[in-house]
Structure 1
């Protein structure tokens, strides 16, 4: 081990004493850091400089209309891009854009086609079409630029989609808001409509029954119309007979009136005679009462009274007979009218009504006359009865004279009163006859004549209406036929209507159970601008960084720093001797350990320059700078053990092995791309590469240390370094016996030093 230290001390003295060696060693110490620093600075913020990438934009959109409103999405997109600094946008025509793209002046070209707005406008149709945007890229220019321009094109599509969605949704939610207002205003009508549907559902069976009954009623009505049409001839005949009857009745009334006029003076004369007779009897009785009566001449007086009473009773009987004749005449007239109207086939419709009306009015007039005549006859019978009573009482005079002479005066007084009353009654009846009976009979006859005149007019009108009735019945029959067809159609469609109404009612009940229309209205009545803003960016990404790194260059610092440390070791083995020559007294282990210390010392100096330069010169973001330097020194030690051991034991083959390891580790260690994105071969070798653990260890102090992960990485690196150290110490002599012969043979070729 002492000889090993001597080799190390001698190397350090030679470096210090030989200024050329010192300059070369200084260069070797500095060069790896330049490699790291330049790469870190170059990748510091590559995506922040995309505004320097020229992209051509060609707008061929001709615009469109949505519900009468003109839209021009292409122009709107161009206006938006003019205020967008993410790329160097150039607005030109298609030919110029394609020409510049071909020769590399543009990295990409975006073409907005002429139907761009038209297809976007189909969003309100039943078959909406997606708008397409043409994108051309020249991938020959650069491997990364197409990815960046792809991102720019995607941003345009996303921005266009977002703006269009927000615009369309703004219109939609503005419509929703108006619909919500209208629904709120029409909510009572909606409630009424629901009630109407439920009422209709409830009443539909009843409607079906009514329609069915209506169909039957139309059939019955048609039968009735057929019967009425059959009875029209009878109605015509009855109307003609009615007119004839009215004429005959009017003639009879004229005769009755003339007869009454002829009889009235005679009746009045007879009544006056009866009244005069009653007065004479009364006067006679008064004279008898005032004179002394010779009872022997009582029979003679009795006979005179009886004769007078007989005359009076006879005259009253004549009057009764004349009045009865008049009554019988009216009765015959009434019976005659009823007989003529009483045909076997009664008139129908208006004819029947008009005939019956005229007949009833004639009957009422004749009945009134009969009542007046009956009253007169009754009063004459009363008067006759009174005279007969007088005559009867007069018959008692003889009896009174013979049996009870003392009662004569009383009987005569009674006779006087009776005769006086009789005279008064005859006078009253005469007055009633003149003032009431005769005028009333004449009035009734006149009214009957007027009624018959009106009836004649009605019957004439009815007769003229019969043709119209025939036409109406024919039209009604035709309409009923059409109505039956309509009702049959309704009955045929009723099951469908019934099912639909029940289905609608069930849907309304389901909606009422699942939703509340007030909640729907509340949902619709939102702020359209707020909803538009929401749908333009429905999800807002809140980025929460566990280990924030402000820029891409700082994120790449671990990879480039580790790579620089390895490159530093590669430079050392390329320029410095990895073995001690011309010293046969040294063992292989001593030569290995002595040179190892020299390589490790220079490697550590390289790492110090790299890590401190990352912190203070490049100004990379390092969360834990002290640990960044420490971890770098550990990695430098492990890397130098690997590199030096391979070169020390295998010579030029070892150098080749170091280079191969460098290539494999750059590709497979996951320094630039996640391991999961690498091909399967690199994913398979990744766990066995020192870079894998070195880069992960350097990332810890950059973002923030998780000590479990850091210790794991340090342990793996420590085991790798220890393994190579043991391998070099133990197998230096054995391996060099074979490699020395190979080295000697290769030098004989004059190509290797």
Structure 2
């Protein structure tokens, strides 16, 4: 023990008397901290809005839009308008799609989103027989940066979700507002208590069916009269006045009913449109019949001749009327089936909702409530354990590279034994390593300001880590010299890649997953994470206990394995010295 103390005191006396040595020791203490601090600061919040808003993504639209029922719809413009207020990404709105795409190839933009010219048309293709999914063209420059595409891919997905949400919300709001319009029209038709819009519509449809029956009767009579015009001249004189009045009266009723029918498009748009078109055509034909019949002044020959000249075929009109009646009967049957179904009551409740609230709900019916377990505010704080542990290892590596681990015989301690020299010289390594750990810990906590729920435990974990790392690398160097130093570098490289410091261990190759639990980095980082995010039961002490196992391994290497390696190390040193270029 006395010789151990003598070796230690002798080392520090020589260091204190040498200005260069003092400066070197100070540098050894400071350099590892800089390594940790710079890395933590550079990774402080790379995924935050302030950072991602500087990543440029071009947006351009060739969408020509579409007109539906006199309504102009352009989804491309809607997307651009929404992105203008979005600050999560640095959106750049280019004048043309060519500028956007060329900018990605040139490296001016990390990615580009382009809406094609038929984007809006495809968005509403579900209203047709040919449904086509609209696509946004996404261009990404994966050469420019390895991480940026992952961020822009998230932005791409967010845009897709926003488009889907906006579209569904708009459709739902339009549906409810259209229902409000029909409900208002129904109220104007004096809807009584207990009646629904469907009841009013069915009533009007039944009236319409009755009027079409009347038309059918009129056309039948006109066809009969015109077919027998040559032999029934007197018949025209008898029926003309009454028929004229009847045609005019029925025409007025059909005009008013046709307006009501056109309001039923929320229930069966294709049928109601067909009915409206058919009724419009019948109305035009009957207008012509009325005018011609009035001018004929009861003369059936003149009426028949004028009808033929006008290109009106009464029999074809009657056939068209029959087809229209069939469609109307089918529509009435469908409406009755809807009314008698259980889903109609639910539909009535939906129609009574607020349009904006309903649209918002349908666009996003499920919301996820996140409850963070061991919340960490910034990415830099989450990465602090990794970079702090790495800095401590680098600090120990610099120590064994600059300070000699071997103790040469001195007059102060001529009879020092190998194990005494081992422990006596290691005390210097230990103290410098502890200074490194203290400085990097204080800088993490009070200079950078990382999140830490237990600062004392954080320092203690760093202190134990420094002790384990320094004695481990010291022992490797004592046992194997420069080969031990090289081995320490190799172990560091393996741990940086495979200790789960940056990526979850589950996504790493299987070889790293197998050695993961045997790496010192793993337990040192886990102990510090318990201090940053919060501790669970006795995990903190368990990780420190695992870490201390490497102290035993280090002692075995430095005291026992070093014995058979001494002669080999001497030969290596002599060979290096003879080269004249190696230290």
When normalised by structure 1's length, the TM-score is 0.55
Deviation for aligned residue 1:623: 1.3
Deviation for aligned residue 1:116: 0.9
1:148 maps to 2:151? yes
Paired with 1:186 and 1:543, the residues of 2 have a C-alpha distance of 43
Deviation for aligned residue 1:97: 2.6
Change (3 A) 1:126 1:28: same
- Equivalent in 512, 536, 540 of residue 367 of structure 2: 540
Deviation for aligned residue 1:517: 5.3
Equivalent residues of 1:108, 1:149 under 8 A apart:
yes
- Equivalent in 463, 485, 500 of residue 670 of structure 1: 500
- Equivalent in 69, 72, 85 of residue 71 of structure 2: 69
1:724 maps to 2:554? yes
Deviation for aligned residue 1:731: 3.0
Deviation for aligned residue 1:748: 2.4
Q: Any residues of structure 2 matched to 1:725-744 within 5 Å, and which? A: 725-744=555-574
1:96 maps to 2:83? no
- Equivalent in 468, 478, 483 of residue 648 of structure 1: 478
1:139 maps to 2:139? no
* SS class of match (2:436): helix
Equivalent residues of 2:389, 2:521 under 8 A apart:
yes
Deviation for aligned residue 1:744: 2.5
- Equivalent in 550, 560, 567 of residue 377 of structure 2: 550
* SS class of match (1:46): coil
Deviation for aligned residue 1:614: 0.3
Paired with 2:578 and 2:180, the residues of 1 have a C-alpha distance of 94
- Which residue matches 1:172? 175
Deviation for aligned residue 1:129: 1.8
Change (3 A) 1:516 1:74: closer
- Which residue matches 2:425? 595
- Which residue matches 2:215? none
Deviation for aligned residue 1:520: 5.1
* SS class of match (2:124): helix
- Which residue matches 2:388? 561
- What's the CA shift string for 1:156-212, capped at 9, x where partnerless? 22222221121122223445667899796248959x99xxxxxxxxxxxxxxxxxxx
Deviation for aligned residue 1:114: 0.6
- What's the CA shift string for 1:248-303, capped at 9, x where partnerless? xxxxxxxxxxxxxxxxxxxxxxxxxxxxxxxxxxxxxxxxxxxxxxxxxxxxxxxx
Paired with 1:658 and 1:61, the residues of 2 have a C-alpha distance of 60
Equivalent residues of 1:74, 1:112 under 8 A apart:
yes
Paired with 1:543 and 1:187, the residues of 2 have a C-alpha distance of 43
Paired with 2:136 and 2:77, the residues of 1 have a C-alpha distance of 14
* SS class of match (2:139): strand
- What's the CA shift string for 1:571-600, capped at 9, x where partnerless? 111111111124573322122212221111
* SS class of match (2:580): coil
1:687 maps to 2:514? no
Paired with 1:144 and 1:519, the residues of 2 have a C-alpha distance of 49
Equivalent residues of 2:75, 2:119 under 8 A apart:
yes
1:613 maps to 2:443? yes
Equivalent residues of 2:182, 2:197 under 8 A apart:
no
Paired with 1:659 and 1:634, the residues of 2 have a C-alpha distance of 20
Q: Any residues of structure 2 matched to 1:375-394 within 5 Å, and which? A: none
Paired with 1:607 and 1:530, the residues of 2 have a C-alpha distance of 57
* SS class of match (1:697): helix
- Which residue matches 1:572? 399
Equivalent residues of 2:44, 2:378 under 8 A apart:
yes
- Which residue matches 2:132? 129
Paired with 1:61 and 1:518, the residues of 2 have a C-alpha distance of 40
- What's the CA shift string for 1:637-681, capped at 9, x where partnerless? 111121111111111111111111111001101011111111111
Deviation for aligned residue 1:91: 1.7
Change (3 A) 1:709 1:177: farther
Q: Any residues of structure 2 matched to 1:16-415 within 5 Å, and which? A: 16-48=16-48, 49-92=51-94, 93-175=96-178, 185-186=195-196
Change (3 A) 1:573 1:523: same
For structure 1, the residue ranges without an aligned partner over 5 or more in a row are 194-500
Paired with 2:338 and 2:62, the residues of 1 have a C-alpha distance of 51
Paired with 2:581 and 2:415, the residues of 1 have a C-alpha distance of 29
Equivalent residues of 2:176, 2:350 under 8 A apart:
no
Deviation for aligned residue 1:524: 4.5
Paired with 1:593 and 1:188, the residues of 2 have a C-alpha distance of 96
Paired with 2:358 and 2:557, the residues of 1 have a C-alpha distance of 71
Paired with 1:67 and 1:739, the residues of 2 have a C-alpha distance of 91
Deviation for aligned residue 1:730: 2.9
Equivalent residues of 1:65, 1:121 under 8 A apart:
no
Equivalent residues of 1:690, 1:717 under 8 A apart:
yes
Paired with 1:534 and 1:595, the residues of 2 have a C-alpha distance of 71
- Equivalent in 554, 578, 582 of residue 748 of structure 1: 578
- Which residue matches 1:15? 15
Change (3 A) 1:153 1:589: same
- What's the CA shift string for 1:368-402, capped at 9, x where partnerless? xxxxxxxxxxxxxxxxxxxxxxxxxxxxxxxxxxx
- Which residue matches 2:488? 658
Paired with 2:160 and 2:197, the residues of 1 have a C-alpha distance of 43
- Which residue matches 2:452? 622
- Which residue matches 1:283? none
Change (3 A) 1:80 1:186: closer
Stretch of structure 1 that moved more, 612-621 or 48-57: 48-57
Paired with 2:139 and 2:170, the residues of 1 have a C-alpha distance of 28
Change (3 A) 1:5 1:175: farther
Change (3 A) 1:149 1:523: closer
* SS class of match (1:634): helix
For structure 2, the residue ranges without an aligned partner over 5 or more in a row are 204-332
Equivalent residues of 2:338, 2:344 under 8 A apart:
no
Paired with 1:127 and 1:2, the residues of 2 have a C-alpha distance of 94
Structure number with bigger Rg = 1
Paired with 1:30 and 1:621, the residues of 2 have a C-alpha distance of 22
- Which residue matches 2:312? none
- Which structure shows the higher helix fraction? 1
Change (3 A) 1:749 1:73: same
Equivalent residues of 2:479, 2:557 under 8 A apart:
no
Deviation for aligned residue 1:12: 2.1
1:639 maps to 2:433? no
Paired with 1:508 and 1:550, the residues of 2 have a C-alpha distance of 54
